Amino acid sequence: MKKRHIFRKLIFLVLLLVLICFACSYLYVKMSPKLRINTANNLALYDNNGEIFFKGSQSKEWVKLDDISDMVIKATISAEDKNFYKHKGFDFLRILKASIINIKSGSNVQGASTITQQYAKNLFLTFDKTWKRKWDEMLYTMRIEANYSKDEILEGYLNTINYGHGKYGIENAAKFYFNKTAKELDLAEASMLVGIPKAPAKFSPLIDLEAAKKRQLIILNLMVKNEAISEEEKNDAYNKDLTFVGKDSEEEASSVMYYQDAVTKELESLSDIPASYNDSNGLKIYTNLNISMQKKLEQTIKETIPEDVSIETSVVMMNPNTGGIVALIGGKDYDKSTYNRALLSKRQVGSTMKPYLYYAALENGFTSSSAFTSEETTFTFENQEDYAPKNYNDKYGNKPISMGTAIAYSENIYAVKTHLFLGSDALINVARRVGITAKLEEVPSLPLGTNEISIIEMAAGYAAFANEGYKIKPHFIEKIEDGDGKVLYEAENNKELVLNSSLTFILNNLLTATYDPDYIDYNYPTAISLSAKLKHKYALKSGTTNSDNWNIGFNKDIVCAVWAGYDNNKSLTTSDYKYAQNIWYNAVEFYEDGKTDEETWYKKPQNVTAMFVEPISGRPANETDEKKKLMYFIKGTEPSSTDATFDEIASKEYAS
- Catalytic residue IDs: 80, 351
User: Using CA atoms, how far apart are residues 5 and 11, in angstroms rounded to an integer?
Assistant: 10
User: Using CA atoms, how far apart are residues 109 and 442, in angstroms rounded to an integer?
Assistant: 44
Q: Cβ(326)–Cβ(375) under 8 Å? A: no
**E strands, 332-382, in order:** 346-348, 371-374
Q: HSE on the CB side for 203, CA within 13 Å?
A: 19
635 phi and psi, to 5 degrees? -55, 130
User: Using CA atoms, how far apart are residues 193 and 203, in angstroms rounded to an integer?
Assistant: 9
User: Using CA atoms, how far apart are residues 515 and 208, in angstroms rounded to an integer?
Assistant: 42
User: Using CA atoms, how far apart are residues 140 and 137, in angstroms rounded to an integer?
Assistant: 5
Burial 274-304 (b: 16+ CB within 10 A, else e): eebbbebbbbbbbbbbbbbbbbbbbebbeeb
Q: Cβ(137)–Cβ(121) under 8 Å? A: yes
Report the DSSP pairing between strands 629-634 and 496-497. Answer: unpaired
Q: Cβ(159)–Cβ(56) under 8 Å? A: no
SS3 state of residue 310: coil
Cα dihedral 465/471/473/476 (nearest 10): -30
How far, in Å, are 358, 402, 633 from residue 366 at the CA level? 8, 10, 10
Q: Which amino acid, 153?
A: I
CA 186 to chain centre: 37
User: Using CA atoms, how far apart are residues 537 and 566, in angstroms rounded to an integer?
Assistant: 31
User: Using CA atoms, how far apart are residues 200 and 167, in angstroms rounded to an integer?
Assistant: 10
| Other CB atoms within 10 A of residue 201 CB | 13
Q: Which amino acid, 614?
A: E
User: Using CA atoms, how far apart are residues 561 and 315, in angstroms rounded to an integer?
Assistant: 6
Radius of gyration of the chain (CA): 31
Report the DSSP pairing between strands 43-46 and 283-287. Answer: parallel
Give the residue from 446, 410, 408, 406 showing the smallest Cα distance to 429.
Answer: 446
Q: At what angle do helices 187-194 and 170-178 cross, to 10 degrees?
A: 120
Report the DSSP pairing between strands 346-348 and 452-454. Answer: antiparallel
- Angle (CA) 235 239 241, round 5°: 150
SS3 state of residue 379: strand
SS3 state of residue 179: coil
CA 289 to chain centre: 13
DSSP string, 267-308: HHT-TTS-S-GGGGTSEEEEE---HHHHHHHHHHHHHHS-TT
DSSP string, 186-199: -HHHHHHHHTSTT-
What's the helix, strand, coil split of the chain in %, to 5? 45, 15, 40
